Chain A
Amino acid sequence: MDLNLNINGEQVSRAVEPRQLLVHYIRDTPGLTGTHWGCDTSNCGACVVLIDGKPVKSCTMLAAMAEGHEIRTVESLERDGELDPIQQGFHEMHALHCGFCTPGMLMTTRALLDERAGGPPLSDDEIRMAISGAICRCTGYKNIVAAVRWAAEHQQQEV
């Protein structure tokens, strides 16, 4: 079937089988291999992208199901050479080691920050809950929590 998906604001068209998973469609698009996969059962969260602003596991969604929706991947975070505060926060707080879960973590936490924008500060428990569908095998999560806090503080300053 011919699919036309909106990925990071651009229309990406390709003929695929209906069974193609969204994660594969994204990764088959030149330059967009930042979205990873780590399991087959929607447990690990390495494949998280934003669909209409909400984090979704793209390994458990058909590419066909994403047509007509706005898909955002990790590659969209940096704008005009400016890192997103969440990217900067991960770097500042050493919230990544091997980097494999990082794109999914960044998108999951970007959505969390967006959802909370203008609201009360996020508690550590809220951050931990938000990332509980994403497995990091390297960091033990402590620095990821710190990175989200860092980003929350620094994007407030920007506003």
Chain B
Amino acid sequence: MAIADRPIGFGRLKRKEDARFIRGKGTYLDDIRLPGMLHGAVLRSPFAHAKITSIDTSRALQLPNVAAVITAKDLETLGLAWMPTISYDTQAVLAGDKVRFQHQEVAFVIATDEYSARDALALIDVEYDPLPAVVNARKALDPDAPLIRDDKPDQTDNIASPLWEAGDAAATDRVFAEADTVVERDIIYPRCHPAPLETCGIIADFNPQTGQLDIYNGNQAPNAHRTIYAHVAGLAEHMIRIMCNDIGGGFGNKVPIYPGYVCAIAGSIVAGKPVKWIEDRTENLVSTGFARDYIMHSEICAKDGKITGLRVDVIADHGAFDSTAQPTKFPAGFFHICCGSYDLEASHVQVKAVYTNKAPGGVAYRCSFRITEAVYLVERMVGALALEMGVDPIELRMQSFIKPDQFPYETTTGWTYDSGDYGQTMKVAMQIAGYEDLRREQAEKRARGELMGIGVSFFTEGVGAGPRKHMDILGLAMNDGADLRVHPSGKAVISLSCQTQGQGHETTFAQIVAEELGIPPEDVQVRHGDTDKTPYGLGTYGSRSTPVSGGAAAVVSRKVRDKARLIASTMLETRPEDLAWTKGPPAGWYVKGDPSKGVPINEIARYAYSGDPMPEGLEGGLDAQTIYDPPNLTYPYGAYIAVVDVDPDTAAVKVRRFIAVDDCGVRINPMIVDGQIHGGLAEGIGIALMEVITFDSEGNCLNSSFMDYLIPTALECPDFELGETVTPCPHHPLGAKGVGESPNVGSPPAIVNAVIDALHESHGVDHVDMPCTPARVWAAMQGRPEPPQ
């Protein structure tokens, strides 16, 4: 095998975790069976908004295999009827007074098997008194709109959180007054769903004798979950253990705590046995963690061929309970990064959030807290501006980019971008695409009546939340721990607080240790997903694993290396400052100027645990721990170009080519980075063309299975063409930036811009909302775009 395939440190190392997955030997939640385990099922509301007048569980309880049926009344006695959300709101675990969205949880059945539990659902009699439902976020603001959250004492309207602002309104007004071109658009980022292939679920195992609660649950932030469960259930934090095992995808969907989880815990406490609850696909789509649902009005302006200002007014639809996921001080997440990659003179953003009779969530679907919405907004607006100005969309971007010598760059909304050379990355994308040739091809096709579009987007993301002075969730700083132990034989275990859901952490983090300490990656075990065995930290979402836990892994490795230096100086009877770290192989501490004299890391490890004398004041062993507080976010960026063909008669859109050039700083494992980009691009194609959660006027969810929530197959995804530039992050210990979410963030605007590009000249189309389904594109071609919500 070539050296390049088996790098000691960074490089295209094939994944360690594959060995079990390709044999069908992963351990996902439903693979776990505990002795005596019972099975839960949730009864859900058929109505979007209705008073509950009675619940009768007696018929269900008569089924032979049914152990218990839990309702809100039962939870009240346990103090579990309501739970806090991660946005300081409250959410009903089981509806008692009324239901506030269709498919809300109403009762929880526990039975000996899943089939029986589901049989019992049909035997629970619930009487509802239907109320008018509020589905449209704009209409939720009407003074006479039905009040959804009458459970909250001071709530008199459907406002979910106060108006939130960023930027400078007055300065923005001035810039718009001086502009020579202004474009205005209503842009919707529709509700969609992360829909990981493994749905959400839990096994709760409460031991009444010891008071210990074991939770098996594939979630993205096990340590934070434990703290929240302790708070919710009134249990001692040290008596709760969460084990994630293998997770079949997360994409933000497995960040929150869901009512079904709390029901299973309550069920285990009541039944004294383990209780498993796993949602079916419909439950996943209709009740857990949706994403986006931002209704945006925006204006953008330019002067002398350069973008100068941006204004955005957003209504965020949070559904019935505000359980949106973001750092607490950022109620609209990082949406105010919508000033994009451009050297603007001013910008202003305001966001108000409303309750509607729709499922709660507001998770970041492969997105760093609303950056997806922000990038979509600005890149669509730049596309619209280029159309209005009659200039090439790349030319306008090139004119307006933040220049390399402006970094670190303070944006008009308060972000400090770390590093970048945007123009260079854009050029690489143009080169791969053959941009000039594509434009020629497009002109020829237009002449023949064929519709081909070329769409561009350029994004800057802020990922790796985050610095503790700015960012916490429910008072928990967004820092990550790492604990590294090098054993006497020179093999190591690194324990992490971040949580892989398929990102390949077992490989990437072993490579970080390998890079820093010269221990081959196969000799580094990566441990995560068990709160009893891992340090504290806030988990994996918002592309934060490499920026935060990756930083922690590097720092903890360097701490070990520093200790190794002291030990080596004793071993070599020299001063530490006379030693230099050499990567080898074998890696170790060597006397400066004399490479023949030194000790490799495994020798140092053996020594550290031996009976030989340690340096003065130093304890034996070779290990370290750290909590990494990132000084700033990392700011990956990229240039994306989509080529689409639109059928002139049927309006069907086909993504023919997709070019993605990402700059995520130093790439630890370029193979895994490419894989992440491929996956995010597929999701972006899904969101742009087909993935959407919609409701009828009564609040019935219309996309409640994979027959209607459409996920791209291999036939909708082109053979992605990737490129890269590498601009290291100046403040990350490894120079790395996050990347997992970039492709999902950057691809939808490129595709929608391409669709508009295909249709603008021939059909005058200058706007279309996602998803660009054949029906919607056809309507746009008829000059009848759907009116804004």
Contact = CB atoms under 8 A, between A and B. Distances in A.
B682 A98 contact: no
A9 to B, nearest CB: 16
A91 B196 contact: no
B59 to A, nearest CB: 20
B675 A139 contact: yes
Given A92-B14, A100-B197, A102-B22, A40 B280 contact: yes
Contacts, number: 170
A98 B504 CA distance: 8
Interface stretch (B243-251, B268-276, B534-542): B243-251
Interface string A29-45: 00011111111110110
A46 B23 contact: no
A90 B18 contact: yes
Contacts of B707: 41, 43
A24 B613 CA distance: 60
Nearest to B658: A140
Given A38-B199, A43-B706, A98-B249, A140 B720 contact: yes
A87 B197 contact: no
A98 B248 contact: yes
B249 A137 contact: yes
Contacts of B82: none
Nearest to B278: A37
Nearest to B507: A94
Interface residues of A, number: 56
A138 interface: yes
Interface in B168-205: 195-199
Interface string B311-324: 00000000000000
Given A100-B249, A142-B717, A135 B22 contact: no
Interface string B246-281: 111101000000000000000000000000000011
Contacts of B195: 137
Q: With a 10 A CB-CB cut-off, give which of A78, A131, A138 has the most chain B CB atoms.
A: A138
A150 interface: no
Contacts of A137: 195-197, 249, 251, 679, 682-683, 711
Contact of A124 (B24, B25, B30, B719): B719
A98 B18 contact: no
B681 interface: yes
B11 to A, nearest CB: 13
Q: With a 10 A CB-CB cut-off, give which of A83, A106, A139 has the most chain B CB atoms.
A: A139
B281 A41 contact: yes
A94 B17 contact: no
B447 interface: no
A101 B672 CA distance: 17
Q: How large is the interface on B (under 10, 10 to 19, 20 to 34, 35 or more residues)?
A: 35 or more
B503 interface: yes
Given A137-B197, A140-B720, A94 B671 contact: yes
A33 B14 contact: no
Contacts of B706: 39, 41, 43-44, 135
B713 A34 contact: no
Q: With a 10 A CB-CB cut-off, give which of A74, A142, A145 has the most chain B CB atoms.
A: A142
A34 B25 CA distance: 6
A38 B30 CA distance: 11
A77 B197 CA distance: 22
Contacts of A73: 24
Interface string B1-42: 000000000000011011111111110101100000000000
Given A99-B502, A137-B679, 19 more contacts: A27-B30, A32-B24, A36-B28, A38-B281, A94-B15, A94-B672, A94-B674, A94-B675, A96-B22, A97-B675, A97-B676, A98-B198, A98-B249, A100-B197, A137-B682, A139-B679, A141-B717, A142-B717, A142-B719
7 contacts: A35-B24, A39-B705, A40-B280, A99-B22, A100-B249, A131-B713, A139-B675
Interface of A: 17, 19-20, 27, 32-41, 43-44, 46, 73-75, 77-78, 83, 87, 90-92, 94, 96-103, 106, 124, 127-129, 131-145
